[in-house]
Structure 1
């Protein structure tokens, strides 16, 4: 009879435990990261009586956690990717807002400056037209400075976010290490500390959103957490840390460093993942590329305009001064491991060949390798000076040793320092130092479209006469060295002519219209110093800069459109990536929740099931007790 009472009491306890677990599930239905728990019953065994084997009832086996490690891992990985894409997308949207279109954009300001020279070319003595040019110049310089300032603000904000994210990663790593220790202390033979395991999975899930992690389960129930592929952020009950440190070459930049005890290692931004990886990618790639593009635009504009302005003559008869404050040459930043004492810099040699990139200059046993960091292309030279992508790399002093390196960032600060140099309208060099005079015997009625200097040739003002032949070609007398050879051997040697196509000799460009007659001629000579006020030739040269192929074949006037196109492409790609990875993450989380989540309908059914089992066990004990009492009375 005592066995019957034991069976009943064990059944009561087992079903009561089941009801408690169900109540725990229901209470945590809205708890993030909670995994549904189930009670696993098992037979309490048997006993032999009179050759028969009678069961001893039921007992509680364990409280199991409904958990799929594979689905949890997939949800964490996809969450990390989605967080990275989402963070980069949000930052790119902020970047896009810095570059407006229409009248408020940089493109409009640049075109307004170049177009303003049209009125000066038509009326060189019009001081109002000259003042408009100065105003337009200050406007584009101001907008470039403002854009650079906005990029600096965005950079500062992104870097602050990197620091905050790293702090959160370190906090979560310490929390995971503490939970690991608690799990180790509470690990039992018959069951596991399910709620502690859920807390740890929740912490790892939060960590995965900040940085991509991988985990390895230890035999003692603890979990090791790795970042950047193989760096142990959490080992058992101990946690390492990440830190934000200045770049070893360029202290204005920052890097992510893994620190464990006294050992440190710099982590690659591409290996981070999560929100940290997204914002680091934005800083190291998107923000740097766009900053270089704006810097290239500013450098090309300043250099090109200054070069053309220097070819002209102002109202006082003086040579044109710089229109913009000339951008400073960029010093190479030495690698800390350099053993030589060389100092170097880069300067602009061809503003139409510039590439929006930083460069790494490496000295080798056989010469110099210059790496274009935007695409990794390596160009080898016997030594410095060396010309690459419109830049001249030169040694200033000292000597470099084999293995030395320098980082060159030619565009980083150009837009930020853009300033006007000319402040007085009469200082605009609108006049051309050369003039053209049609021959008195010309009969074709050919017209002169423009004549202006295009390069500082030593023979710029030498007298040159162009005489047309019967076949429409022309001869040129008085040319200096360095001019193109004649197209036709002759005799006499002659050049082909196409109406409206510029003719460039001795550093000037002459454009004629109409078809010539045999004997027509044009004389190009130095402009007299008495009529600079009536001469707008160089203003025409400034106006012609609009169509100069400057940015990878794109004209100077359309350079801003190329920047907008690049930003738009980045934003569109980031939007697609964020949308796709977000959908994958949501799908994986739904699959994980389908296994681990609490279903109230299912819990209600199980609640009724164990309630009935509990009541039946109680009824069984009541019957057993009554039978036992009756038996005692009969025996008495």
Structure 2
């Protein structure tokens, strides 16, 4: 990584410690004397430790966030649609899924008493990312880690990407928090144990045209858009003479008169609903024609909410993608990251082999060459031994001649 291992007489010490920005994670630090350097994967460069950190902080985090967003979205969508219907007993549909809420973790070196609380306000707006929040004395700076997008808020609570972030206590300048919307969503999602009769297959109300109507007006697309006690109140929509407008009676907020009629338009255009429901009026109704909204009394004969539940599978709930598309995208991203990692490992292995080969060519040991050298040295030794032996014989002969 280029960091010094020895400065003067002081040696560097490596260890793991709670991450300054996320006390729930362990970060690598290098300490020389009283100076501490925090080393992330880019700072470490290559090697197994850098690879492990990169996997944890990037690849694994991306997979957790993508799958977690799907879990949160499915849970919210199904629970919401379930609540808009009634079960076989005529009761409002109970919650089917439970998913852990986002977590906000204070930095390990925070000196203030600030605490963040994060809740989900719109599952469909969620982004597959963690967030870093810091306080600079004037603003809470919120950075989406996946792409680096940043927003500043002088005060909290604030809403961002389907999340509501609130603060309490007194933060100190430089304090950090890590917001993890999906920390335990994929592993902590649970289904409530319910009786099949508690599945909300029916709508709470229905609309019918009077049999005495003389026009060709029709009501279609009736849907419950907001769970409310008023869903089951009896309501009448009666067309005036001329039938360019209508009156509405039985609404929880009081009757309405002379509401303009536009064929094919969802009713109401404003507000968003009547007693929690809406409908499309079309055709050419005649003066006096009436459409009545009444409560459903036989839930077992009504499957409209069951169809709405099934329709969620084809809705663009996850960033505009269907559930199958979002899951396929998550798997594709994971596969791409695996292939990229494998390719990087293969390249690193080849570079390592080439470096070892170059080192061996310069200073390494060639076994064949060394064997030849040993044989040559052996022959030289044997030749030297014969020279010594011949010299000894000659010396002995000289001594013998001298004695005589």
Q: Which category describes the TM-score, using the shorter chain as reference length?
A: 0.7 to 0.9
- For residue 538 of structure 1, what is the aligned residue in structure 2? 305
| Greater displacement, 344-353 / 244-253 | 244-253
1:405/1:608 CA distance change after superposition, 3 Å: closer
Instruction: Quote the offset at 1:599 in angstroms.
Output: 3.3
- For residue 70 of structure 2, what is the aligned residue in structure 1? 297
**Higher fraction of helix:** 1
Paired residues of 1:366 and 1:382 also in contact (CA < 8 A): yes
Q: Deviations over 1:597-624 (max 9, x none)?
A: 4434323432343344444444555666
Counterpart of 1:556 (choices 323, 340, 362) is 323
1:314 equivalenced with 2:75 (yes/no):
no
Matches within 5 A, 1:266-281: 266-272=38-44, 273-281=46-54
Secondary structure of 1:554's counterpart equals coil
Q: Deviations over 1:188-234 (max 9, x none)?
A: xxxxxxxxxxxxxxxxxxxxxxxxxxxxxxxxxxxxxxxx32141x6
Counterpart of 1:434 (choices 205, 211, 225) is 205
Paired residues of 1:422 and 1:428 also in contact (CA < 8 A): no
- For residue 155 of structure 2, what is the aligned residue in structure 1? 383
Structure 1 length-normalised TM: 0.51
Counterpart of 1:244 (choices 16, 29, 54) is 16
Q: Deviations over 1:122-152 (max 9, x none)?
A: xxxxxxxxxxxxxxxxxxxxxxxxxxxxxxx
Unaligned runs of 5+ in 1: 1-227, 468-473, 481-490, 499-503
Counterpart of 1:352 (choices 110, 119, 124) is 124
- For residue 86 of structure 1, what is the aligned residue in structure 2? none
Counterpart of 2:262 (choices 490, 494, 508) is 494
Bigger relative contact order, structure 1 or 2, given CA contacts below 8 A and separation 6+?
A: 1
1:539/1:509 CA distance change after superposition, 3 Å: farther
Paired residues of 1:330 and 1:347 also in contact (CA < 8 A): yes
Give me the whole-angstrom Cα distance separating, in 1, the residues matched to 2:166 and 2:64.
Answer: 24
Give me the whole-angstrom Cα distance separating, in 2, the residues matched to 1:525 and 1:562.
Answer: 46
Q: Deviations over 1:464-508 (max 9, x none)?
A: 8598xxxxxx9887599xxxxxxxxxx96736669xxxxx95164
1:558/1:465 CA distance change after superposition, 3 Å: farther
1:452 equivalenced with 2:219 (yes/no):
no
Instruction: Quote the offset at 1:370 in angstroms.
Output: 0.9
- For residue 115 of structure 2, what is the aligned residue in structure 1? 343
Give me the whole-angstrom Cα distance separating, in 2, the residues matched to 1:526 and 1:432.
Answer: 12
Paired residues of 1:312 and 1:433 also in contact (CA < 8 A): yes
Unaligned runs of 5+ in 2: 252-258
- For residue 54 of structure 1, what is the aligned residue in structure 2? none
Structure 2 length-normalised TM: 0.76
CA RMSD of aligned residues (A): 4.2
Paired residues of 1:432 and 1:453 also in contact (CA < 8 A): yes
- For residue 137 of structure 1, what is the aligned residue in structure 2? none
Q: Deviations over 1:9-59 (max 9, x none)?
A: xxxxxxxxxxxxxxxxxxxxxxxxxxxxxxxxxxxxxxxxxxxxxxxxxxx
Q: Deviations over 1:421-452 (max 9, x none)?
A: 3623333333223323246547769784x532
**Higher fraction of strand:** 2
1:281/1:356 CA distance change after superposition, 3 Å: same
Equivalenced residues, count? 381
Paired residues of 1:367 and 1:382 also in contact (CA < 8 A): yes
Secondary structure of 1:371's counterpart equals strand
Instruction: Quote the offset at 1:399 in angstroms.
Output: 4.2
Secondary structure of 1:590's counterpart equals helix
Secondary structure of 1:406's counterpart equals strand
Counterpart of 2:284 (choices 518, 542, 547) is 518
Give me the whole-angstrom Cα distance separating, in 1, the residues matched to 2:79 and 2:300.
Answer: 21
Counterpart of 1:421 (choices 192, 200, 212) is 192
- For residue 255 of structure 2, what is the aligned residue in structure 1? none
Paired residues of 1:322 and 1:422 also in contact (CA < 8 A): no
Paired residues of 1:293 and 1:563 also in contact (CA < 8 A): yes
Paired residues of 2:23 and 2:107 also in contact (CA < 8 A): no
1:408 equivalenced with 2:192 (yes/no):
no
Instruction: Quote the offset at 1:294 in angstroms.
Output: 2.3
